[in-house]
Amino acid sequence: MASTAAIAALALVFFVLLCVRDGGGVDAADTLSQGQSLGANDMLVSANGTFKVGFFTPAGGDPGKVYLGVMYATSNVQTVMWVANRDAPVRTAAGAASATLTGSGELLVKEGDRVAWRTNASAAGRSNHTLTIRDDGNLVISGSDAAGTDVEWESFHHPTDTFVPGMEIALRQTNGDRTLYTSWRSDADPATGDFTLGLDASAQLYIWRSQGGKNSTYWRSGQWASGNFVGIPWRALYVYGFKLNGDPPPIAGDMSIAFTPFNSSLYRFVLRPNGVETCYMLLGSGDWELVWSQPIIPCHRYNLCGDNAECTADDNNQPICTCFTGFEPKSPQEYNNGNWTQGCVRSVPLTCSSERNNTTAGGAGAGGGDGFTVIRGVKLPDFAVWGSLVGDANSCEKACLGNCSCGAYSYSTGSCLTWGQELVDIFQFQTGTEGAKYDLYVKVPSSLLDKSSGRWKTVVVVVVVVVVVVLLASGLLMWKCRRRIKEKLGIGRKKAQLPLLRPARDAKQDFSGPAQSEHEKSEEGKNCELPLFAFETLATATDNFSISNKLGEGGFGHVYKGRLPGGEEIAVKRLSRSSGQGLEEFKNEVILIAKLQHRNLVRLLGCCIQGEEKILVYEYMPNKSLDAFLFDPERRGLLDWRTRFQIIEGVARGLLYLHRDSRLRVVHRDLKASNILLDRDMNPKISDFGMARIFGGDQNQVNTNRVVGTLGYMSPEYAMEGLFSVRSDVYSFGILILEIITGQKNSSFHHMEGSLNIVGYAWQLWNGDRGQELIDPAIRGTCPAKEALRCVHMALLCVQDHAHDRPDIPYVVLTLGSDSSVLPTPRPPTFTLQCTSSSSGRDMYYRDKEESYSANDLTVTMLQGR
Ligand SMILES: *[C@@H]1O[C@H](CO)[C@@H](O)[C@H](O)[C@H]1NC(C)=O
Ligand SMILES: *[C@@H]1O[C@H](CO)[C@@H](O)[C@H](O)[C@H]1NC(C)=O
Ligand SMILES: *[C@@H]1O[C@H](CO)[C@@H](O)[C@H](O)[C@H]1NC(C)=O
Ligand SMILES: *[C@@H]1O[C@H](CO)[C@@H](O)[C@H](O)[C@H]1NC(C)=O
Ligand SMILES: *[C@@H]1O[C@H](CO)[C@@H](O)[C@H](O)[C@H]1NC(C)=O
Ligand SMILES: *[C@@H]1O[C@H](CO)[C@@H](O)[C@H](O)[C@H]1NC(C)=O
Ligand SMILES: *[C@@H]1O[C@H](CO)[C@@H](O)[C@H](O)[C@H]1NC(C)=O
Ligand SMILES: *[C@@H]1O[C@H](CO)[C@@H](O)[C@H](O)[C@H]1NC(C)=O
Ligand SMILES: *[C@@H]1O[C@H](CO)[C@@H](O)[C@H](O)[C@H]1NC(C)=O
């Protein structure tokens, strides 16, 4: 009964919809033709019913004034996205409101016969104008001429206070165009308010405040670095797909900020009348949920503490202003009374000498010269001068030291940023928070550094010596005791040291021991610092690790699909017990992944260590891995070019996070199609950090005794000499791009085109201007060739033989997203790594110097045919 009624109701709705759509004329709901008018009570509604346009009176506002606006059609409360005549309301007492599209394609808002507002869009020589409200909320006037129909005017280019997907915050240096968002005067009055948000040539967002005819900076986002703003570190925001298009500094050409939500929810960013940028999401119920709001604590106010000072928020978010070391308040009395406008000035002038040119970096020079104090975890100052993307922290320090007008530098964004003498708008993040990853080095005379460290040095030396002696003694004692206990129990110790990760803890762990005391078991559990799952829970969740739940075979064990009692789906990686291997990889993965969180990395939900069982629990990825699509003749068609490009970009962003943003500098070392998982919306997530290693701060290339990875994806220097660096990941990434574009496995290549590998093959075609033949036939017809060829070009840069020729990931991310910058020409590949797996070949590739790793260990690690 119920279902029949439902079907009948559905049919009725469908019928009604059909009638409406076929009605024609003004009833066509979303379009007004030229000559037609919209009355005070008429509405145009977008095709899928999301937006409507018509006259409104703001809630709580003057009922005598009406405005033409674009509104959300499905929200419970009146939600205005755009207002036409915000400063020229129609006064209903003086005349009826109407909106007319003229024969020349101009939209007029009228009060009776008087024109209150007009679009000023002149379209000489065009005809058949229409006004359409689109599904994304854009109100568009188009018209036709001999060449076809084109958009003549659109509301997205004339925003009010709301920023939605499809809009831009743009700055076009070439023609001076700029999209600015201006707040309402109050919630009940859409007139132009005090606050304006826009993008600046430094690729920073600003909110300006105009008060009494004066325009002052109210807030600043901080520099755009590696996919987010230095001053808005909250990752959650970038989850909504914020992107800077165009050429940011150092090029500083045309730029725009856009955001593309990763699901179909409706989001809007509003610059509120109080100057606070806020993001809301429309729920299915028609209510709005607050997603994000710009922090409103005083320290975020632009340069609250004045020049050369940092602002720290106390427990009540009240500002504490402190001059930098080497600076003092310009007017101590005012400053101490809380009037910080004059800021701080140098207490001792810089010597501006280059005596320290040839002393080692970092140490305070002995007498004379200038040095640096470091201020950690800050929103970097305004007015940065961008150096080039190449170089390192040392060359950046040198550049600043050798330049008398340089007052500070920072290399934490991966570029060399320098500042002049005044340092403006510095906010100190709380240590340990997401934002606390940018460090500022402020130049001060070395004499100051010495004074403050002279007495300290002695104290520090004494303390260090005492601590070291105590540690050594206790370590020796513990080691002796432990050995005695072990001997008593008859447990042999396997040499499984993990030099780079937490050596102190490692000493008391021995996961591989066949029998362990209860005490040790609980010790291990604590080390996870993660939700711990009971083995029984996971066994139940995966139906006792049944074959039917198996998702695949990873490097060191099997992966199963599971369902927790609450219904949540999980992926369970159970490390192989029999091989006795993977111990290191396991610990690596747990410690690393727990720390690494990014939308393009697979999230670790927890772990389980019980006896010999070592299990990792991940979020479940319904679409499995990239190779399951790419190399499957049936499913590869599902990956259109847009999706493929999104995957390339997503992987690049994940790598960027691993290489730079995570602060740990993680090299993945086994990047490949089967390690790229896809979520419900086909967003890529990098998985399997088992082989990643943590780099120390300054190391950028490490020689490893163990070569792990997958043939075909390994860079020459890694495969041959065991040298790995972030640039070896770049190489693997280049191979991955080629696979994504060609839809061919790199390992399938030695059967084709003679004995060329994928690199040689791609180079040959690309160099011979036949690059288009590389594109997967499944998408060749529909894919924009220019974009695809640009990716091939980038891939060929990434797979260059010499690590130092390859671009770094920040460069890749920067240039992939902009089509205007010119890519350098890649060098031709000379070395082509063959994918033969003969044992003699292997001996050449791998060195095993350390006896603790058996040869067996190496081969198993190597020969995962994946
Ligand atoms: C149209 O032009 C007039 C006069 O130049 C100006 O006052 C008005 O603000 C313009 N309208 C829009 C929507 O730009
Ligand atoms: C309508 O279209 C817009 C833009 O394409 C989309 O974001 C929205 O989800 C659609 N709404 C519905 C109800 O289909
Ligand atoms: C305008 O519309 C009319 C009627 O639909 C059509 O005949 C004419 O070709 C159109 N003009 C242009 C320039 O598209
Ligand atoms: C306010 O002033 C700043 C700098 O003086 C300028 O860049 C900005 O464009 C101005 N804002 C507006 C809305 O005029
Ligand atoms: C989109 O994502 C948000 C945040 O995860 C979620 O709250 C919302 O329900 C999602 N919307 C849809 C349509 O899935
Ligand atoms: C703070 O100091 C500045 C400059 O000395 C002065 O112009 C301003 O009036 C002072 N503000 C207050 C609130 O005293
Ligand atoms: C460092 O510079 C000084 C002069 O400032 C020079 O005398 C000295 O030889 C230099 N040392 C080295 C190792 O270059
Ligand atoms: C120190 O470096 C600067 C800039 O690189 C250079 O001009 C200067 O000659 C150097 N001084 C010495 C003593 O090497
Ligand atoms: C010196 O540093 C200032 C501030 O960072 C910068 O504007 C200037 O271009 C630099 N000069 C040279 C020669 O690099």
Q: What is the DSSP string of 133-146?
A: E-TTS-EEEEEEET
| Residue in this structure with the two tokens 């990716």, named with its chain if needed | 791
- Which is the closest atom of ligand 3 to the Cα of 127? 13
Return d(Cα 437, Cα 232) in angstroms, integer: 12
Closest listed ligand to the CA of 359: 7
C-beta of residue 99 within 8 angstroms of C-beta of residue 68: yes
Tell me if 149 CB under 6 Å of ligand 3. Answer: no
Start-to-end CA span in the chain (Å):
54
- Of how many residues is the chain composed? 866
My answer on whether omega of the bond before 684 falls inside 30° of 0, hence cis, is: no
pLDDT at 658: 83
Say whether 486 counts as a known binding-site residue: no
Residue 731 zone, left/alpha/beta (φ > 0; ψ -120 to 50; rest): alpha
Calculate the alpha carbon distances from 136 to 8, 626, 753 in Å.
31, 31, 48
E-strand stretches of 687-798: 693-694, 702-703, 723-724
Per-residue H/E/C for 399-444:
HHHCCCCCCEEECCCCCCEEECCCCCCEEECCCCCCCCCCCEEEEE
Task: Name the residue ranges covered by the structural domains of the chain.
Answer: 21-157, 162-278, 309-451, 490-619, 626-860
Classify domain 490-619 at the CATH superfamily level.
Phosphorylase Kinase; domain 1 (3.30.200.20)
Q: Model confidence over 218-266: pLDDT tens digits?
A: 999 999 886 778 998 776 666 557 788 888 887 788 999 998 876 778 9
State the distance from the centre of ligand 2 to the C-alpha of 49, rounded, in angstroms: 8
Return d(Cα 344, Cα 803) in angstroms, integer: 45
- Which is the closest atom of ligand 6 to the Cα of 331? 5
Q: Which of 280, 281, 288, 290 to mutate to test the pocket of ligand 5 (most atoms within 8 A of CB)?
A: 281
Structure tokens at 176: 């001076």
Return d(Cα 125, Cα 104) in angstroms, integer: 9
Residues paired with residue 371 on neighbouring β-strands, in sequence order: 444
φ, ψ of residue 149 in degrees (nearest 5): -95, 140
State the distance from the centre of ligand 6 to the C-alpha of 674, rounded, in angstroms: 63
pLDDT at 699: 36
Return d(Cα 574, Cα 492) in angstroms, integer: 25
Tell me if 120 CB under 6 Å of ligand 1. Answer: yes
State the distance from the centre of ligand 5 to the C-alpha of 266, rounded, in angstroms: 9
In 3-state terms, what secondary structure has residue 711? coil
| Residue in this structure with the two tokens 């004066």, named with its chain if needed | 214
Residues paired with residue 720 on neighbouring β-strands, in sequence order: none
Give the residue whose CA is nearest to atom 2 of ligand 5: 263
pLDDT at 196: 97
- Which is the closest atom of ligand 8 to the Cα of 355? 13
C-beta of residue 791 within 8 angstroms of C-beta of residue 648: yes
Return d(Cα 12, Cα 16) in angstroms, integer: 6
487: amino acid identity, one letter: E
Classify domain 21-157 at the CATH superfamily level.
Bulb-type lectin domain (2.90.10.10)
Residue 729 Cα to chain centre, angstroms = 18
The closest of 342, 301, 275 to 425, measured between CA atoms, is 301
Instruction: Rounding to the nearest 10 degrees, give the CA dihedral for residues 587, 589, 592, 593.
Output: -140
Residue 35 zone, left/alpha/beta (φ > 0; ψ -120 to 50; rest): left
Residues paired with residue 378 on neighbouring β-strands, in sequence order: 428
Calculate the alpha carbon distances from 436 to 131, 292, 313, 386, 741 in Å.
49, 20, 14, 21, 38
Give me the average pLDDT of each 10-residue run along the chain (866 residues). 50 43 49 94 94 95 95 95 97 95 94 95 86 96 91 95 95 89 96 96 94 93 84 70 81 86 85 94 92 86 94 89 93 91 91 53 51 93 83 86 90 88 91 82 86 56 72 71 49 32 30 33 42 84 88 74 83 68 62 76 81 82 87 85 92 87 72 88 82 37 48 75 80 93 80 65 86 88 87 92 87 79 81 37 28 26 30
Q: Report the run of H or E that residue 220 belongs to, with start and end.
A: strand 214-220
Return d(Cα 237, Cα 229) in angstroms, integer: 10
Burial of 584 (0-12, 13-18, 19+ CB in 10 A): buried
424: amino acid identity, one letter: V
Give the residue whose CA is nearest to atom 7 of ligand 3: 128
Return d(Cα 689, Cα 595) in angstroms, integer: 12
Tell me if 155 CB under 6 Å of ligand 1. Answer: no
Query: Between vectors from CA 438 to CA 437 and to CA 441, what angle results, nearest 5°?
Result: 135
pLDDT at 750: 54
DSSP3 helix / strand / coil % (the chain, rounded to 5): 30, 25, 45
CA atoms within 13 A on the CB side of 709: 32
Residues paired with residue 84 on neighbouring β-strands, in sequence order: none
C-beta of residue 792 within 8 angstroms of C-beta of residue 813: no
**Number of other residues whose CB lies within 10 A of the CB of residue 265:** 14
Return d(Cα 58, Cα 193) in angstroms, integer: 15
Q: Model confidence over 767-792: pLDDT tens digits?
A: 888 888 889 888 888 888 888 999 99
pLDDT at 503: 29
The closest of 198, 590, 659 to 414, measured between CA atoms, is 659
Query: Between vectors from CA 747 to CA 744 and to CA 750, what angle results, nearest 5°?
Result: 100
CATH entry, 626-860, from 1.10.10.10, 2.60.120.380, 3.40.50.300, 1.10.510.10 = 1.10.510.10
State the distance from the centre of ligand 4 to the C-alpha of 215, rounded, in angstroms: 6
| Residue in this structure with the two tokens 């599209």, named with its chain if needed | 101
Closest listed ligand to the CA of 160: 1
In 3-state terms, what secondary structure has residue 574? strand
Provide the b/e sequence for 134-170 (b: ≥16 CB within 10 Å): bebbbbbbbbeeeeeeeebbbbbeebbbbbbbebbbb
360: amino acid identity, one letter: T
Tell me if 144 CB under 6 Å of ligand 3. Answer: yes
Structure tokens at 286: 């028609």
Sequence-separated (6 or more) residues with CB below 8 Å from residue 684 = 600, 626, 646, 647, 650, 651, 654, 676, 677, 678
Catalytic positions:
670
pLDDT at 687: 86
pLDDT at 244: 85
In 3-state terms, what secondary structure has residue 828? coil
State the distance from the centre of ligand 6 to the C-alpha of 105, rounded, in angstroms: 53
Return d(Cα 863, Cα 785) in angstroms, integer: 36
Edge to edge, the sheet with strand 148-154 lists 31-33, 127-133, 139-145, 148-154
Return d(Cα 52, Cα 70) in angstroms, integer: 6
Closest listed ligand to the CA of 207: 4
The closest of 182, 174, 219 to 82, measured between CA atoms, is 182
Residue 356 zone, left/alpha/beta (φ > 0; ψ -120 to 50; rest): alpha
Return d(Cα 197, Cα 181) in angstroms, integer: 5
Q: What is the DSSP letter of 856?
A: H
Return d(Cα 187, Cα 88) in angstroms, integer: 17
pLDDT at 589: 62
Residues having CB closer than 6 A to ligand 9 are 385, 403, 405-406, 418-420
Q: What is the pTM of this model?
A: 0.58
Q: What is the DSSP letter of 748?
A: G
What is the rounded radius of gyration, in angstroms, for the C-alpha atoms of the chain?
31
